[in-house]
Chains A and B, each alone.
Chain A
C-alpha cells in the first residue's frame, strides 16, 4: 500500500475537522485496509476514529434504541437488549462475517463500507466506480450482482445490518462542521445513477455518530442466505419488522442500495400474517426484479428469504 499519514482523532470535533476530501476516515478498518492493500484507494492521510470510545454504546431510550456508531457488530451480538427486542437486527449482526471481523467491524463502518464487487476490488478493471466508462458485471461474471435497479453499475450494497435498520425506520445522526443532522435510513443510501462515486449521501467531513431506532418492533426477523456458512457474503438478506402495526421488508445484497420492498409492504400493510399473505407479499417483492445473465437464482432466493423472514418473525415454522 501507499504510504500515508495516520491521524488519530482524540475527539469527534477533531475528527470532523481533519476529515476532508483529502483524507479518509477509518473506524474498524475492515473494509479500508483491503482497499489500501489493493491500491483501490491511495489516500495521503487517514483519520482514525477508533479511539472515540464514547461513541460505542447501546442504550434504550423512550421506547426506542440508540446505538453509538463505534459499537461493533460483536457488541450488538452480545446485547441481550437487542437480542430480545430487535431479533432481526441482532441476527443481521451476530451472523455477519466471522467472530474476529465482528469484533473489529463497527456499526458506522458497516453502513459506510464500499461495495465488494470483484470488478471494483480489482485494479485490472477500470470500472465506472473508479472513473471508467464500463460496468464489467453487465456482460461478465455477475452471479453475485444486483437483481434490482439497473443504474449502470450493478453492485450490491454489502451492509448486513442496513436492511434491518431500514425495516426498523432507523435514523442516522451525522456530525459535520456545520453541526449535527439526522438522515432517515431510507434516504441515506444512493443509487449509482445519482452518484457513482459513493453509495450514500455523506460528503467528506460527515461522520455517522449514532443510529436511532424510534420504537422497538412487535415482531422482527432476518434471514440471510449464503453459499458458505463461515465467512461469506449473503446471496440475499431479508430483514422484516412490524413497527406500529405496519410491516416493513428490508432487502440486502440484491441492489446497489439496501432497500425496502414497497410491493411487499403494500400487500402486507397492517395485517396479521397468514400463509397466503406471506406468499403474495414475497411474490410481489420479486416481481420487479430484473436479474442478470447469471443470477436468476437470486430472485428465487429473495422470494424464499422474504417468506421465511416473515414466518420466522411471527413464530410460524420455517425449514431449517
Chain B
C-alpha cells in the first residue's frame, strides 16, 4: 500500500481547524477567561501533608480580611497533600489569597504511605488467582522461562487550563462556564447541587484546555462555585492553582508488574503468571492495568492488588491502565525475544494474531529501517542507536448523540453539537463530517459546540466522541442536503432524486446552480435538521489498531536519551479531518514519550508532600525533546465508519521507547521514567555481569 496516498484518506484532507485563528489570536475564550461583574472567588483550604490532623486551628484572622464572606474549616483531617479540609469565599482574588495566608493550622503530621514498593503485599502473600495451576502446568518444563518485575511512576494530567468553573446562579436558573470534557454531565451535576430544573441550567465550554480523562462532571471546584453563587446571589469562580492541579485532580496510578512468562523454542508463548500492583489514593481503587494484553500469552493466571497511598486519587487518564501495562508487556516481549535469540518483531508477529497490525509491522519496519537494527547492545561507540516497537488497539465503545444542521438562505451552514472540544479538534470534526455529505464549499460551514443548549452528545471519554457524533453529523448533513435538493427540484420542476451537489453547486447533469443561489430557494428561512440516528453511517467496529516504531540514541556515558524519530501507524476507520487525526496521533505519542522519559510525581517519603507540584519540577517533554513524529493514518479496505483515535496512540509509545533503549544499550531499563540515573545504573549492572 502507498502510505502517501493513505494519509489522504480523510473526508477533509486540506482544511485548517475552524478555530485556529481564534485560538492563536486569543479571541477564543476558555471558561477560565470568564470574569463576570460582581464576581466572588472561592478556593479550598488544603492539607499540605500526606497524613495530618489539625491539632490547633483558627480562622479568626482569615475572617477578618476585608472582603472575605465565608471561611469554612469543617474537616480537621487531611489524608493527602492537596486534600480539601475547608474553603474560603471572598469578594476578590486578593482577599481570597490574603485570607488563605491568614489561616492558622498546626498540623500533627502522621506516617503517610508514600511508596508503592514499600506498601504493597509481597507476591508470596498474594492468593493464587484462577488458572494458577493451569498456568504453572503450561510453564512447567518449558525451555525458556523468564521472570521480571517492571514498574511505572505516577503521571499527572497537567491540563493547561486548570479544573474549575464560574457559576452564576440567579433565582431558579444558572449559567455556568466550566472547564470540562462533559458538558452535559456538568449540567446534571449542577442541577443536583443547585436543585434546579435542567431547562434552567446552562453550561458553556466553547473552548477547553485539555482534560485527558480528569474533567468529567462539575468536580469539587464547580460544586463549590455553584453553592457559593446560589448562597450569595452573585457569580462565583473557583479554579485550581497549578499546585492543586498536580495534587488533587487525578493521576495515572503508578504500577509494579511481576511477569513470569514461558515459551517454547519456536517463540510460542505457553503461559504466564502475572501479578500487578497499582498505587491509588487513600480510598477506593482504579489502579488496574492492561497486562497481559494484545499478545497471546497462552494460559494466563493474573492477579492484581490496588495499594492505597496517601495521595490524591486516580482519575481516568488517556487509555487508563494501558500505557503502563504495555510498557511492561512490550519490554517483556523484547526480553523474551533476546532469550530466544529471535528478532523481536518476528516474535510479535507470532504472538499477535491481528492481521491489520501484521501489515502495519511490515510497512513500519521498512520506514524505520528495521533491517538495519543491530542485536541488543552491539552498536559501537559512546552514543548508541536503538530501535524499538510497540503495538496498540482500542475497544471502540458506544454512546448516544444528536447533531443539528442548519442551512440558511445566505448559504451558511451551522453544525450543532453540545459536546465539547477539549482541544482535539472536535469542532472541526463535526463540521467536516456534516460537510462531507452536504457537499458545499468549506467556507460556508461553521460549528457550534460546548453548550448545553445545543443537541446532546457524549463526554470526551473512551475515545467515543467522534465515533458517536460523526455518523449523526453525516446523517444530518445528508438529510439537510436532501431538503435543499427538494427546494431546487421544486424550482426546476424536476425530481429531487435526479439532483446532486458537485463541486459545491447543484446539478441535474444539464444545468447547475451555485450554492448561494440554491440556498436562496430555501423556504421558511432555513433548513433545520436534527439527527439522533446514524442513518447509513452506523459505526462498525474496527480495532483502532496501531503499531509504532522508535529510533533513538542513548549516550552511554551520561544515560541521556534522545529520541530521533517515531513512526506511528494508526487505524482509525474512516478519518474525518486529516490534520485533526494526525494531531491526535502525534499528541498521544508525545504524551507517551513524556511519560516514558520524564514525568514523575514525587512524594516526599517522610511527610507525603509532593515536592514537584508544578510544571518546573514535574518534567514534561518540551519542544527540544520531541522527535520527528510521522503519523500514518491507516485505512483498511472497506472501512467506512469513524473510529477511535484519542487514546490508542499513546499506548504503544512508552513500551516502544523502552525496547529501543534496551536495543541500544543491551540491558533493559525496567523502570519508568527511564532517566539518566536509571540508565547509568542499568549499564553498570551490565558491566558488572561482564
**A–B Cβ pairs within 8 angstroms, 23 of them:** A2-B97, A2-B101, A98-B622, A116-B616, A118-B611, A121-B617, A123-B48, A124-B49, A124-B81, A124-B607, A140-B604, A140-B611, A141-B605, A227-B676, A228-B619, A228-B622, A229-B622, A232-B622, A297-B677, A297-B680, A297-B681, A300-B558, A319-B557
Are A228 and B625 in touch, CB under 8 angstroms? yes
**B98: Cβ under 8 A from any A Cβ:** yes
Are A230 and B621 in touch, CB under 8 angstroms? yes
**Complex A-B, nearest 5 residue pairs according to Cβ-Cβ distance, in ascending order:** A230-B622, A229-B624, A124-B48, A319-B382, A230-B624
Within 8 A of A (CB), among B384-434: none
Are A228 and B604 in touch, CB under 8 angstroms? no
Residues of chain A touching chain B, judged by Cβ–Cβ distance below 8 Å, are: 1-3, 39, 98, 116, 118-119, 121-125, 136, 139-141, 143, 225, 227-232, 235, 294-297, 300-301, 304, 319-320
Chain B 542-576, CB-CB to A under 8 Å as 1, else 0, gives: 00000000000001011110100000000000000
Contact of A300 among B49, B619, B624, B680 (CB under 8 A): B680
**B381: Cβ under 8 A from any A Cβ:** yes
Contact of A225 among B98, B101, B560, B604 (CB under 8 A): B560
Interface of A is mostly: loop
**B500: Cβ under 8 A from any A Cβ:** no
Tally chain B residues at the interface, Cβ within 8 Å. Answer: 40
- Report A-chain residues with C-beta under 8 Å of the C-beta of B625: 228-230
Look across to chain A and name the residue whose beta carbon is closest to the beta carbon of B48: A124
A116-B617, A319-B555 known; 20 new pairs, CB 8 Å cut-off, are A1-B97, A2-B101, A3-B98, A116-B616, A122-B613, A124-B609, A136-B604, A139-B606, A140-B605, A140-B606, A143-B677, A225-B676, A227-B597, A228-B625, A230-B622, A295-B677, A296-B677, A297-B676, A304-B557, A319-B557
Are B681 and A118 in touch, CB under 8 angstroms? no
Write the nearest CB–CB distance from B78 to chain A, whole angstroms. Answer: 11
Look across to chain A and name the residue whose beta carbon is closest to the beta carbon of B98: A2
Write the nearest CB–CB distance from B347 to chain A, whole angstroms. Answer: 32
Chain B 596-622, CB-CB to A under 8 Å as 1, else 0, gives: 011000101111010111001101011
Write the nearest CB–CB distance from B617 to chain A, whole angstroms. Answer: 5
CA A300 – CA B598 in complex, angstroms? 20
CA A14 – CA B111 in complex, angstroms? 52
**B266: Cβ under 8 A from any A Cβ:** no
**B675: Cβ under 8 A from any A Cβ:** yes
**B94: Cβ under 8 A from any A Cβ:** yes
- Report B-chain residues with C-beta under 8 Å of the C-beta of A2: 97-98, 101
CA A226 – CA B612 in complex, angstroms? 17
Are B622 and A125 in touch, CB under 8 angstroms? no
**B651: Cβ under 8 A from any A Cβ:** no
CA A123 – CA B97 in complex, angstroms? 14
* Known contacts A124-B81, A141-B604, A225-B558; is-contact A230 B611 (Cβ 8 Å): no
Are B619 and A141 in touch, CB under 8 angstroms? no
CA A139 – CA B604 in complex, angstroms? 10
**B511: Cβ under 8 A from any A Cβ:** no
- Report A-chain residues with C-beta under 8 Å of the C-beta of B617: 116, 118, 121
- Report A-chain residues with C-beta under 8 Å of the C-beta of B510: none
- Report A-chain residues with C-beta under 8 Å of the C-beta of B562: 229
